[in-house]
Structure 1
């Protein structure tokens, strides 16, 4: 799975829809990886942690 860098419009799209922080993060990752939210929801937790780390690396 490949993740692109986030744009401001991605963050705005996630905020518009609302939901819990976890749901917003899943929605953001689905946008950045260009996959359905359902696919992110089915990822093993260890792999999900790796996606979180990759996203955090983009921010630093």
Structure 2
């Protein structure tokens, strides 16, 4: 029975895919959390530019 489990590669493939999926999930969370404040600052700049209405030809940034 144990010899059959040692030679069964389907379980190994499944574990590798699970580890890969976990790694991608963790990296995605880290990237989104690190970029989030930058995107928020960009939206605040855009919001400020839209509310102050500097006129045609004015530079926002």
Higher relative contact order at CA 8 Å, sep ≥6: structure 1 or structure 2?
1
Greater per-residue helix proportion: 2
- Considering only CA atoms, is the larger Rg found in Structure 1 or Structure 2? 2
